[in-house]
Amino acid sequence: MKRRHLMLAGLLTGVGPGLAAAQAPGQPRVVSVGGAVTETLFALGAQGQLVGVDTTSLYPVEATRLPQVGYARTLSTEGLLALRPALLLASAEAGPPQVLAQLRQAGVRVEVLDEQHRFEGVLARTQRLGQLCGREREAAQLVARLQQDWAIRPRPPSGPAPRVLFVLAHGGGQLRVAGEGTAADAMLQLAGARNALAGLQGYKPLTAEAALQAAPELILCTDQGLQVQGGVDGLLKAPGLALTPAGRAGRVASMEAMLLLGFGPRLPQAVAELTSKLHGRAA
């Protein structure tokens, strides 16, 4: 333990391996924390600068073959510094704060990018990442493609918007449902649906009472969550879901987690796919 503390102290005071010396001119060694950040860096062609990613960096599959730095909210100073990054690019959920502070003290440039659940936020993050990685031209090209794809995305059909309940079911603990201010809520709005928990903020534990009051016409979850629950039948065993209009009719839709919730460069594709799933099923 004492040796570990001495090593950390050396890194923080510059006695350890020099961070700047390991960085190629114009091509900083980058650690990416946040699936959407990593996906955007790949889309910009900056993957060659990546020396590590967090566990939410699942797309593209090449990202999963890079060294892992753990979960975004529980980063380790020593684990990150061992990769000798010059730049940490992170989503807003990255932490804990003391780890980010220690990285800055060690000479690592830490850039936290605001998570805006809006198309304009995706464009702004793309441009910022292009600036930070020296890929402004690639960022401008990607932004132009995104704008083109966004302009031609399918619009929701006219008529009543389906009432949808998003269930977050990734872990082994209690399931949670999404209220306002979440990525799921923003996606439902973009796809022309009504959040069955409108009026509540953030994620809440799923209870039978909450499910029955929400009375969704359709239940939405991620592919990964549906698999963890054992498919549609397993998911509907959760408190109250089987007794909702969606549960009685077996109306459950799912999408790949990062595509659905990531708000990365595949957002136009994600909105188009979700629009089709929600309105087709509801009809």
Answer whether 28-151 and 163-282 agree in fold: yes
> Regarding predicted confidence, which is higher, 8 or 216?
216
Give the CATH fold of the 163-282 domain: Rossmann fold (3.40.50)
Domain definitions of the chain by residue range? 28-151, 163-282
Please state the CATH superfamily assignment of the domain spanning residues 28-151 in this structure: Nitrogenase molybdenum iron protein domain (3.40.50.1980)
What pLDDT, on the 0 to 100 scale, is given for residue 159? Answer: 86
What pLDDT, on the 0 to 100 scale, is given for residue 280? Answer: 74
Question: What whole-number percentage of the chain has pLDDT above 70?
Answer: 89
Q: Report pLDDT digits (tens) over 3-49.
A: 444 334 343 333 333 333 334 455 789 999 999 999 999 999 999 99
Rounded average pLDDT over 45-58: 96
> Regarding predicted confidence, which is higher, 24 or 184?
184
Rounded average pLDDT over 104-108: 97
Rounded average pLDDT over 261-274: 96
What pLDDT, on the 0 to 100 scale, is given for residue 17? Answer: 33
What pLDDT, on the 0 to 100 scale, is given for residue 275? Answer: 96
Q: What is the pLDDT of the chain when averaged over all its residues?
A: 89
Rounded average pLDDT over 264-279: 96
Q: Is the pLDDT of residue 172 over 70?
A: no
**Is the pTM of the predicted complex or chain greater than 0.75?**
yes
Q: Is the pLDDT of residue 195 over 60?
A: yes
Rounded average pLDDT over 150-173: 89
DSSP secondary structure string for all residues of the chain: -HHHHHHHHHHHHT-SS-TGGGSBTTB--EEEESHHHHHHHHHTT-GGGEEEE-TT--SSGGGGGSPB---GGG--HHHHHTT--SEEEEETT---HHHHHHHHHTT-EEEEEP---SHHHHHHHHHHHHHHTT-HHHHHHHHHHHHHHHHTSPPPPSSPPPEEEEEE--SSS--EEE-BTSHHHHHHHHTT-EETTTT-BSEEE--HHHHHHH--SEEEEEHHHHHHTTHHHHHTTSTTGGGSHHHHHT-EEEE-HHHHH--STTHHHHHHHHHHHHHHHH-
Rounded average pLDDT over 233-238: 94
